[in-house]
Amino acid sequence: MTTKSTKFIPALDEVEKAREKFLKALDITLLNPPDVEVGTSPHEVIFTENKLRLLHYYPQTEEACSTPLILVFALVNRPYILDLMPGRSVVEVLLKKGIPVYLIDWGSPGDEDKNLDLNHYINRYIHKVVQRVKKHSGSDKVNILGYCMGGTMSAMYTALHPEEVENLILMTAGIDFKVEGTLNMWGDKPNFNVDKFIDAYGNAPADFLQSGFLIMKPVQNLVSKYVNFYENVDNEAFLESFLAMEKWLNDNIPVAGEVYREFIKYLYQENQLVEDKLKINGKPVHLKDIKCPVL
């Protein structure tokens, strides 16, 4: 009996280790999630308007590029993903290359911002930022790196103000919206009445937007990710990176109602930008007017 009992001891030890590991994972993710510091590259705020803040990052080496770079992020998430943490920061890499870096933080729109449209974001916000960066840096032009919705708006801005932009870089930016994809299917007119949606809510709610992104890859976002987390919960480096990313993924913001309506209607549903039909404040937006190099 004693011999047989001892055979179960290693198995019981493994059960206890698994239980402790599960409780640790539960504590970290749900009960007492630690606060993670993000967006730590040293910077100053050199311009504000309404919720918008313009960040200028302090150089980390001798500047090798005279033309400043403006990072234009999407409207649906916080921009600190570009400066998540030391060693995982686009901003940090650019600064170490000697590039002068500026970033637009759109802030979180309130109910009073529901009427902000593409014209306001492009011809007012982005244009004011460009003028402020030119003045601050002493440069005649700027480089723009636009991400996602920010990339689409950056392309529009460059088409409307080609004299301001020396180089345009687009990352995951929608230009031609008549391509197969989950978002395009959800946004089609038969599936989504954006007018009724925005008329009812005012702004596009943050939890609605987050849910949409989660169910695009449900197994990866709701199962696989947490299995990987459980398996690596004792790895401090993994844990720090995971928690920083989780903070960003769950730090969602609404989108101003009118600009959301225009994005869905004019771009996703009618594809006006690539079909050369889009007008902003009555002025046609012609992609052919972009004269600078585009990456």
Active site residues: 148
Find out whether 151 and 72 touch, Cβ atoms under 8 Å.
Answer: yes
Q: Which of 120, 267, 126 is nearest to 192 (CA)?
A: 267
Place of tokens 């395009």: 184
- Say how far residue 37 (Cα) sits from the centre of its chain: 18
Cβ burial of 253 (10 Å; 0-12, 13-18, 19+) is buried
Report how far apart, in Å, the C-alpha atoms of 139 and of each of 94, 96, 100 are. 18, 20, 11
Place of tokens 């014209």: 119
What residue type is 28 in one-letter code?
I
Find out whether 102 and 68 touch, Cβ atoms under 8 Å.
Answer: yes
> Other C-beta atoms within 10 Å of 5: how many?
8
142: left (phi over 0), alpha (psi -120 to 50) or beta: beta
Q: What is the DSSP string of 173-193?
A: --S---S-SHHHHHHSTTT--
> Other C-beta atoms within 10 Å of 121: how many?
26
Tokens of 232: 């690596």
- Say how far residue 26 (Cα) sits from the centre of its chain: 28
In angstroms, the CA 238 to CA 232 distance is 7
Give the list of residues 6+ apart from residue 123 with CB closer than 8 angstroms, or none: 160, 280, 281
Across the strands, what pairs with 27?
none
